Amino acid sequence: MLFNILQETLPREELEALQLRRLQDVCARVYANVPFYKKRFDEIGIKPENIRSLQDLALLPFTEKQDLRDHYPYGLFAVPKDNIVRLQASSGTTGKAVVLGYTQRDLDNWADMAARSLTAAGVTRRDIVHIAYGYGLFTGGLGAHGGAERIGATVVPASGGATRRQTYLMRDFGATVLCCTPSYALHLWESAREEGIDFRELPLRIGCFGAEPWSEAMRHDMEQKMGIDALNIYGLSEIMGPGVAMECVDAKDGLHLWEDHFLPEIIDPVTGEQLPLGETGELVITTLTKEGTPLIRYRTRDLTFINPTPCCCGRTHRRIARLSGRTDDMLIIRGVNVFPQQIETIIMENEGLTPNYQLVIDRKDNLDTLEICVEVDAQLFCDEIRHLQRLEQRIQKKVKEFLGVTTRVRLLEPHSIERSEGKAKRIVDKRTIWLCGRARSPQKTSEHGTTQTIWGCLDEPLGRVYTAPVSSCWTQARRKWPGLSPQARRGRFLHQQENWRDRPTRVLRRR
């Protein structure tokens, strides 16, 4: 079933002509109304009228999350504030939050695209949609809500939290669709089971899961446990919210990205160059119709590729592959790039293991160590110790074989890893890392819950260089150059850190 058959099946040429018209329009709008973009365009000597084909997109400057933070709260709005009817914000775990403004038309488009997405998953007006994404500034709850209402389904705005109560609501109201993060869905399922509720006996038939990357193996596991079709929904607040792209239940192979509203490209995250169709890289999106906060070439940090082959469902909008991770989620273990999803896939191949896992990274004697902690199910936990040990070794061997890193695997009893109501905390990084350009505080918490101590270099009267948490280094810099403006001091500080990095250092203070 299609929600908007005309738009969703537009022939490619018509779709691309529409994209070009809209791209030209959005460039003109941001150039005229957003000083940040006018400056960026002028710096590289480009005017909106220079955009004559979709290939010219590569001429335009990127927008990064930091740009949104730097212009907090309203600096990137492209319409007068009177026209803004809603504000949403993304979590501010790393400093300032990012604020997005929506006009009435933006909200209408959002509801339309969320409705298209849910319809692609098989949701109809006869469904009862239980939404366990958080409601509030986070776009998850309200986004899915708008789509389900637009379809005409019955919405249960449960929001996150009060997990046990949610399972009763699902049973009593007869939920047929569940929308939340995949890890929270599993948490709900577990909790329900403890209450004697079996999801397979409920009328539940569809799960729309998103807001965190998850593996194909986890999908199979969830579909079996819950007796549903588990589908992938993609979205991010900066671009709109949930419903930017969605998997269709017909193919269950990649997410249709609604190309009449969003122009996708894949770039090499290091060089920033566009990659050919089909190659994996960072997803970059230009919003084509957004009025409140239109963004040009927004770097999502999500890794995927575009699949240009036509889909059996008849939609002409291209598909992005299941996200393979985020550039800032990538772990570098002894120089090897590792994504949590790769390890998840290996874990899920083993019977008796649950998708509740955590990766603990540390550094011992200057070598990175990776420990994989996985919960086993109750039945397996009562098994012989020897059997568990063999299983640990088997996973260790598999990870070594496929990813080339040595790990330690620890099987834990059920419920030893803390559950989250939103995105799961998969990574505990205990390593200390060196100062990087934008760090200002000694603790860096990425949006995905990774906490790292950031170390800098301290000058010492005898000309020795010491390492210390970066806040101490800042204090020293302030004392050292009291007369400089903060910006000049920052420049000098970063320069000094660059120079000192490779000198032999001693740890001054370890916390």
| Cα–Cα distances in angstroms (integers) from residue 287 to residues 245, 299, 476, in the given order | 13, 12, 43
Task: Sketch the per residue contact string, 340 through 359, with Zn ion: x for CB under 5 A, - otherwise.
Answer: --------------------
Alpha helix (H) residue ranges in 44-103: 65-70
Contact present, 269 and 281 (Cβ < 8 Å): yes
Q: Which two tokens stand for residue 178?
A: 């569940």
> With CB under 5 A as the contact rule, which of the stretches 135-143, 249-257, 370-378, 405-413 interacts with Zn ion?
249-257
CB nearer Zn ion, residue 258 or residue 455: 258
In the complex, what is the shortest distance from the CB of residue 247 to Zn ion, in angstroms, rounded to a whole number? 8
Please, which of residues 454-493 interact with Zn ion by CB under 5 A? Answer: none
- Is the CB of 248 or the CB of 361 nearer to Zn ion? 248
Among 313, 412, 433, 484, binds Zn ion (CB under 5 A): 313
Nearer to Zn ion, 204 or 320 (CB): 320
Stretch that binds Zn ion, among 216-224, 228-236, 312-320, 475-483 (CB under 5 A): 312-320
Binding mask 197-236 for Zn ion (x = CB under 5 A): ----------------------------------------
CA-based Rg of the chain, rounded to a whole angstrom? 24
Q: Which phi and psi (to 5°) does residue 469 adopt? A: -55, 145
Which region, judged by CB under 5 A, interacts with Zn ion, from 197-205, 303-311, 438-446, 454-462? 303-311
Rounded-to-integer distance, Cα 134 and Cα 161, Å = 8
Stretch that binds Zn ion, among 279-287, 296-304, 313-321, 336-344 (CB under 5 A): 313-321
245 binds Zn ion (CB under 5 A): no
Contact 2, 9 (CB under 8 A): yes
Q: Which helix (H) or strand (E) covers residue 209, if one does?
A: strand 206-210
Does position 266 interact with Zn ion (CB under 5 A)? The reply is no
Strands 281-287 and 298-304: antiparallel
User: CA quadruple 38, 138, 73, 67: dihedral positive or negative?
Assistant: negative
Separation in Å, CA 33 to CA 26, 42, 47, 396:
10, 14, 14, 55
Q: Where are the alpha helices (DSSP H) in 247-382?
A: 340-348, 378-381
| Cis geometry, peptide bond prior to residue 294 (ω within 30 degrees of 0) | no
# binding residues, Zn ion (CB under 5 A): 5
Q: Measured from the CB atom, is 26 or 311 closer to Zn ion?
A: 311
> Which stretch in 91-99, 250-258, 282-290, 296-304 sits in contact with Zn ion by CB under 5 A?
250-258
The residue within the footprint of Zn ion, chosen from 197, 311, 338, 454 (CB under 5 A), is: 311
- 150 neighbors 178 (Cβ within 8 angstroms): no
Please tell me whether residue 306 binds Zn ion under the rule CB under 5 A: no
Query: Does position 248 bind Zn ion by CB under 5 A?
Result: yes
Between 97 and 248, CB nearer to Zn ion: 248
Cα–chain-centroid distance for residue 338?
16
Instruction: Report the nearest approach of Zn ion to the CB of residue 311 (Å).
Output: 3
Residue 251 found at the interface with Zn ion (CB under 5 A)? yes
Write down the least CB distance from residue 249 to Zn ion, Å: 9
Per-residue CA distances from 188 to 123, 155, 205, 453 (Å): 21, 18, 15, 33
Task: Tell me the sheet residues that pair with 99.
Answer: 89
Q: Which residues bind Zn ion (CB under 5 A)?
A: 248, 251, 311, 313, 315
